[in-house]
Homo-oligomer: A and B are copies of this chain.
Amino acid sequence: MNEITTPRRATVHDVARAAGVSLATVDRVLNNRPGVRPTTARKVADAVTSLGFQRDLSASLLARARDLQVRFLIPAGSNEFMDSLADAASRRIESALIERLQIAITRLPLLDARALVDSLDVLMPHQCDCAVIVGTEEPAVLASVEEATRRGVMVMTLVSDLPGSSRRHFIGIDNVAAGRTAASLMGRFCPQGGKIALVAGSMHLHDHHDRLEGFRAVAAEYPGLELLEPLEGHDEHQETQALVEQLLARHSDLGGIYNLGAGTTGLLAALRRTRRTGSLRVIAHELSDCSRAGLADGSIDVVLDQNPDGEIGAALAAVRTLALGAGTLENNEPIEIRIFLRDNLG
């Protein structure tokens, strides 16, 4: 039998011996601290690569008698999805602690760049190793991210990326693919073709924009589908409900609705009031109590979900990896979109 005999991993001792220096020097190089001659540093670096040395994060945290501190900065009040993100983070507090990861969560009062910047600017490297933020692409935010990085606080973006910045990693789904998938389903749901309505929060939101783009691209492959102009409900229950009721009244022959925003509660209310849940195919985003109910009673056919639990898990895993000093994460696979019907709900 081919038994796999794993060779013992290299330790700091091995590196020190190979480089002909002491443990302390190796440690200084590893954590790139000052006080090492360039020549010595090179010797250590060579030993590290030739031995394939990999630091043991757990032992490192054990020695420092210190946990890894992660702070999530998540908007509140605006979006139901943000609540589920925060909940997912909360749920992990306990289990993360066992792995020496301390999770702190700050809900920002508004979807306000100022509040985010203020919270970010306060974070110091001795109390926060990594800030995981969901932020909008505004100059003040970008500046704050740069500043945090310079101070020694890693920044990671969640849900919505800040491409030009010094964020070390991005966790989120591919929203264009989400829109494409929705269209691909809708096209198959309506083999006879038909009018399809699009309900968004706002076209100014990056993710909504991407979803719309993806949906339109694939919908074009189904000549029978006639896309109506997108409605903007600003993710407000009342407004979305009114909009959808008006929509249903105007188009008695509507074939489907793609709700690419977060106003699912309002949409559902409208659908139920007008009792048009049979002949109409409805695709919405984000699993929530509301959308679960919609799936259960048949008013929603499919829910595309961003998988907040998976995103939080991926974020924590990334923090651990990046804490070792890796420049960037190469395995930057985006989070997978989850697809739910009534029949595969947890």
Interface residue count on the A side (C-beta < 8 Å): 45
The reply to whether the CB of A50 lies closer than 8 angstroms to some CB of chain B is no
Taking the nearest CB of chain B, how far is it from the CB of A173, in angstroms?
Answer: 9
Main secondary structure of the interface of A (DSSP, over half): mixed
The reply to whether the CB of A180 lies closer than 8 angstroms to some CB of chain B is yes
Taking the nearest CB of chain B, how far is it from the CB of A194, in angstroms?
Answer: 10
Is A56 a contact of B344 with CB atoms below 8 Å? Answer: no
Binds B, one of A134-142, A151-159, A222-230, A334-342: A334-342
The reply to whether the CB of A64 lies closer than 8 angstroms to some CB of chain B is no
Residue of B62, B102, B191 near A58 (CB, 8 A) is B62
Report A304-346 CB contacts with B as 1/0, cut-off 8 Å.
0000000000000000000000000000010011110111101
Question: Using Cβ atoms and an 8 Å threshold, which residues of chain B touch A97?
Answer: 6, 9
Is A343 a contact of B59 with CB atoms below 8 Å? Answer: no
Is A338 a contact of B336 with CB atoms below 8 Å? Answer: yes
- A327–B218 Cα gap in the complex (Å)? 50
Binds B, one of A182-190, A236-244, A259-267: A182-190
The reply to whether the CB of A235 lies closer than 8 angstroms to some CB of chain B is no
Question: Using Cβ atoms and an 8 Å threshold, which residues of chain B touch A9?
Answer: 97
Is A218 a contact of B58 with CB atoms below 8 Å? Answer: no
Chain A, 189-217, CB within 8 A of any chain B CB: 189-192, 214
Report A55-67 CB contacts with B as 1/0, cut-off 8 Å.
0111100100001
- A133–B62 Cα gap in the complex (Å)? 34
Report A37-72 CB contacts with B as 1/0, cut-off 8 Å.
000000000000000001011110010000100000
Residue of B1, B177, B333, B344 near A337 (CB, 8 A) is B344
Question: Using Cβ atoms and an 8 Å threshold, which residues of chain B touch A3?
Answer: 104
The reply to whether the CB of A285 lies closer than 8 angstroms to some CB of chain B is no
Task: Check A178/B344 contact, CB under 8 A, given A4-B104, A97-B6.
Answer: yes
Give 11 pairs: A residue, B residue, CB < 8 Å, sorted on A.
A3-B104, A6-B67, A57-B98, A178-B344, A181-B343, A188-B188, A188-B281, A214-B343, A333-B346, A336-B338, A336-B344
